[in-house]
Amino acid sequence: MYSSVRPDVFRSLFYPRGVAVIGSVSAGKLGHEIIRQMLSGGFAFTWAVNPKGQGLLSVPGFTSVSAIGQPVDLAVIASPAATVPEVLHDCGRAGVSAAVIITAGFAEVGNSAAEEELVRIARRHDIRFVGPNCAGILNTRHRLAPMLEVIPPDGATALISQSGALGGAVLAWAEEQGLGFSKFVSYGNRADLDEADLLRYLADDPETKVVAMYIESVGDGREFMAALAACTRRKPVVVIKAGRSSAGRRATLSHTGSLAGSDAVYDAALRECGALRVRNVEELFDLCKGFSALPPMSGRRIAIVTNSGGPGVLAADRAEEVGLDVAEPGPALRAELASFLPAHCAIRNPFDLTVEGDEESYRRTLTAVLGEYDGALALDVNPAYLDSLPLARGVADAIVQSDKPVVVNFMAGRAVAAGVEHLRGRGISNYPTAERAVAVLVRMAEYHEASRVQIADCKLQIASCKLQIQNPKSKIRNLTSETEPAIMAWLRENGIPTPPFQVAETSEAAVRAARAIGYPVVLKVVSPEILHKTEVGGVKLDIRDDAGVLAAFAALAASAAGKEFHGAIIYPLIRGAHEALVGLSYDPQFGPVVAFGLGGIYTELLKDVALRVAPVDRDRAREMICETRAAGLLIGARGQRPADLDALAALIARVSELPFLYPEIAEVDLNPVFVSPDGVLVGDARVIRRLT
């Protein structure tokens, strides 16, 4: 299950004794750029390899890796695509154990065969590689920069990026943003080492406190989840995933399928594994700065210390909106603050020191509130005539003496330049706005709250539910030949509660069945040729007597005119229950996905649906229920008895296991599921199986 990458591969990749850069060193060529960056980084043991044996600046040149005659652990390959196989052979002969293949022109342009060949050759020589079609890697602490991008400041954030360009833009922006990086990997086509391998490595990397990722897709959804959960158990992982609007990946065959667009599945998987998804590079910087520099945020109560009322309220607005608690101070804190704050400072949260707030009042107020709150925002809205430096001193002193996180916003521009400089000197980031600063605290609190051990464990369980399905893209057929009685019987066999039902092939049998079940009843047509029963008039509700059954049976027979008619299925009428939807669909990257929502407009109009990668246990199924906005209805609004959530959670969990028991199942749609205080019952079901 775990990745089979040996630790020495990553040692060769990030801490090589020597590095060969293969490719032309002429100006404008990739090899030229890479060697320049290697020299900028300051790594001493670099050699150039190209047909002419040309060197560049202080880097000597050779005609082959084997000819270097010194230990070469890492090869950085930037020669033309057609030459890469031969280069790999050369590397193998020279004892290279890791490679970074910058060269493009493989699977990304449709040339998968050439890419597969690279993998075969590398395997033969026991070489593991990053790429092809990537922008290189970086290990700041080892001064190793075989890449095409700007070298960022040293720091505690590792960045792994599917897009070289986006990764490069992040690194180029790092200095201005005040964020340092420990490692960077642009992994391109991930023909060999992929995001899951890198996550597993970074989980244990002592130089990395935070992992930042940019992904567009993942190789193996479940392997990714397992690696991600293992990593978030150790340190925060902040993820940008592109493609929220993309409809391309959807494999929509049923109602449930259309609800579970692929990006929604990514979103659920990321959340489930404890990763923190952000929407853009600014948020990525904001969070990485917070996680790499601040102590943990162990709760959601924050104090806002400001010298301007309105901006303090704006920050409080945002804080409450994102889920922080801008709580009022308790009596002890109130008394403490009253002992030193001037009378014109109202002692409430936000704590407004007014424009007269000085070094001492910032220091003492921050120190005092950090005794009671879980974290704080220090806000200075600085008029031009006010010197920001003493305020920064007061803020910085309080911060370095506390074990609680404090985010800072000194506004703005040159009015606060001296203060911001002082803060930076003490390792304190100044956020551009108070709103962005408080948004960091809530994500830090989220990370702290996630019971990481538990998440990781349940994710290991998911990973172990590896699919037996060999070809997930095999054709899917709708089993119209399986009629409702067969599906209902199958559900019941599998522990999923259905109402009592009988099948009657004649009207007389229908009357007997209805009497046995007890009026009022429901009759539905049974025909392998009718999929959408309601549309043909094949469903008759609220039938109250024998005469009604006879009429209904005749109508059903008529609805099947010209088609195979197997009679009617008869159920009791179920009243006073909520109608929910439980579905299972198949995501091309994550496999089976389970969905829950209340029926009708809740799912269709309000898109109020909870998703999880299957399987889920009952606890997580219950989380899904509570996650929907309409959950309040089930829990019992206005003094009604609460619905049987235990039974509903058990049903969701059971449905989520089905594809692992029956690998041929592609989709299941239980709609409606009747949910009442007395239990749950499936009212109708569709099951779609794969053609094997």
Among positions 563-592, residues that touch its own copies (CB under 8 A) are none
Of the ranges 477-485, 516-524, 580-588, 632-640, which one interacts with its own copies (CB under 8 A)? 632-640
- Between residue 77 and residue 136, which ones bind its own copies under the rule CB under 8 A? 109, 135
Of 568, 616, 569, 566, residue with least CA distance to 596? 616
Pairing verdict, β 237-241 and 276-278: parallel
From residue 251 to residue 280, the character string flagging contacts with its own copies as x (rule: CB under 8 A) and all else as - is: ----------------------------xx
Of the ranges 79-87, 114-122, 490-498, 624-632, which one interacts with its own copies (CB under 8 A)? 624-632
By CB under 8 A, residue 539 contacts its own copies? no
For the four alpha carbons of 74, 80, 82 and 83, in that order, the dihedral sign comes to: negative
Rounded Cα distance between 476 and 586, Å, is 11
- Between residue 438 and residue 457, which ones bind its own copies under the rule CB under 8 A? none
* Residue closer to its own copies (CB basis): 94 or 185: 185
Pairing verdict, β 665-676 and 591-598: unpaired
Distance in Å, CB of 481 to its own copies, minimum: 28
* Residue closer to its own copies (CB basis): 314 or 341: 314
- Between residue 471 and residue 500, which ones bind its own copies under the rule CB under 8 A? none
* Residue closer to its own copies (CB basis): 414 or 475: 414
Q: Which of 281, 389, 489, 573 is close enough to bind its own copies by CB under 8 A? A: 281
Within the chain, how many helices (H) and strands (E) appear? 24, 27
* Residue closer to its own copies (CB basis): 71 or 80: 80
By CB under 8 A, residue 632 contacts its own copies? yes
From residue 502 to residue 531, the character string flagging contacts with its own copies as x (rule: CB under 8 A) and all else as - is: ------------------------------
From residue 354 to residue 373, the character string flagging contacts with its own copies as x (rule: CB under 8 A) and all else as - is: -x------------------
Q: What share of the chain is helix, strand, coil (3-state, %, to 5)?
A: 40, 20, 35
Cβ-based neighbours of 171, under 8 Å, separated by 6 or more = 138, 149, 150, 151, 152, 159, 181, 184
* Residue closer to its own copies (CB basis): 94 or 416: 416
- Between residue 21 and residue 40, which ones bind its own copies under the rule CB under 8 A? 33, 37
* Residue closer to its own copies (CB basis): 321 or 619: 321
Distance in Å, CB of 33 to its own copies, minimum: 5
* Residue closer to its own copies (CB basis): 175 or 457: 175
Rounded Cα distance between 380 and 646, Å, is 50
Count of positions on this chain that bind its own copies (CB under 8 A): 73
Q: Which residue in the block uniquely carries the two structure tokens 């995933």?
A: 241
- Between residue 287 and residue 346, which ones bind its own copies under the rule CB under 8 A? 307-311, 313-314, 316-321, 326, 344
Strand partners, 312: none
By CB under 8 A, residue 435 contacts its own copies? yes
Rounded Cα distance between 262 and 278, Å, is 17
Rounded Cα distance between 283 and 611, Å, is 25
**Contact, 652 vs 594, CB < 8 A?**
yes
By CB under 8 A, residue 669 contacts its own copies? no
Distance in Å, CB of 533 to its own copies, minimum: 15
DSSP letter string, 577-642: -EEEEEEEEEETTTEEEEEEEESTHHHHTT--EEEEESP--HHHHHHHHHHSTTHHHHHHGGGPPP
Q: Across the beta sheet with 61-62, what order do the strands follow? A: 61-62, 46-49, 19-22, 74-77, 98-101, 128-130
By CB under 8 A, residue 629 contacts its own copies? yes
Distance in Å, CB of 461 to its own copies, minimum: 31
**Contact, 455 vs 463, CB < 8 A?**
no
**Contact, 60 vs 74, CB < 8 A?**
no
Distance in Å, CB of 464 to its own copies, minimum: 32
* Residue closer to its own copies (CB basis): 119 or 626: 626
For 47-69, b/e burial (b = at least 16 CB within 10 A) is bbbbeeebbbeebebbebbbebe
Distance in Å, CB of 432 to its own copies, minimum: 6
- Between residue 181 and residue 220, which ones bind its own copies under the rule CB under 8 A? 214, 216
By CB under 8 A, residue 51 contacts its own copies? no
* Residue closer to its own copies (CB basis): 69 or 385: 385
- Between residue 219 and residue 248, which ones bind its own copies under the rule CB under 8 A? 240, 242-246
Distance in Å, CB of 275 to its own copies, minimum: 17
Q: Which of 22, 98, 381, 396 is close enough to bind its own copies by CB under 8 A? A: 381
- Between residue 133 and residue 172, which ones bind its own copies under the rule CB under 8 A? 135, 148-150, 162-166, 168-170, 172
Q: Which residue in the block uniquely carries the two structure tokens 């199986």?
A: 689
Distance in Å, CB of 214 to its own copies, minimum: 7
By CB under 8 A, residue 642 contacts its own copies? no
By CB under 8 A, residue 392 contacts its own copies? no
| HSE-CB of 470 using CA atoms within 13 angstroms | 2
Beta strands (DSSP E) in 463-561 are 476-478, 502-504, 521-525, 539-543
Rounded Cα distance between 31 and 463, Å, is 40
Of the ranges 75-83, 370-378, 599-607, 671-679, which one interacts with its own copies (CB under 8 A)? 599-607
* Residue closer to its own copies (CB basis): 172 or 516: 172
Pairing verdict, β 98-101 and 128-130: parallel
**Contact, 317 vs 309, CB < 8 A?**
no
Rounded Cα distance between 109 and 112, Å, is 8
